[in-house]
Amino acid sequence: MLVQAPDLEIFDIRGSVRRSAVGETRDFSEDLQAVIGTRVGPGLKKIIRGLLGGIPLAETWAILLEECCNGVIMVYTKEVLLQAPKDREGEKEFFRTMVQANPRLLGSCAALAVDSPLMAGLDSKPA
């Protein structure tokens, strides 16, 4: 998946299965073209599932694309995350404050999962 800055718009995507349980090889690049023009940002999970709903292995591709998009987001948030305090309590407070400021982050990765030790004691739950 290739994303163009500054809008973080998906402008190229390719995907294939080279090994499967049944030994099948298949190129899904044409099916995945539906997500071209989609911007990495709020509502992406729902958009991807809507666009890919009719293709074989849609749920698997949706999960893979979400992970690619999370990687894109991490590139842009890495510097912010590096500012987290190194002590455990300071780190928890830093991430709780970040999630309270942007509730969409809750559940967006393992570290920010509802049951994560970093999120322990957080009042809000994902919508």
15-42 residue pLDDT tens: 998 887 777 788 989 999 999 999 988 7
Residue 124 is predicted with a pLDDT of: 55
Q: Are 21 and 72 members of one domain?
A: yes
59-78 residue pLDDT tens: 888 989 988 988 888 888 77
80-97 residue pLDDT tens: 888 889 898 898 889 888
Which two structure tokens, joined as six digits, stand for 41?
């940002």
127 vs 4: which has the higher pLDDT: 4
Q: Are 60 and 35 in contact (CB under 8 A)?
A: no
What pTM, to 2 d.p., does this model score?
Answer: 0.66
Specify the number of domains making up the chain: 2
Mean pLDDT, the chain, integer: 85
CA distance 27 to 89: 47
Q: Are 63 and 92 members of one domain?
A: no
Q: Which domain holds residue 102?
A: 84-119
Q: Are 33 and 59 members of one domain?
A: yes
Question: How would you class 51 by CB atoms within 10 Å of its CB: exposed for 0-12, middle for 13-18, buried for 19 or more?
Answer: buried
Q: Which residue has the tokens 């090889």?
A: 25
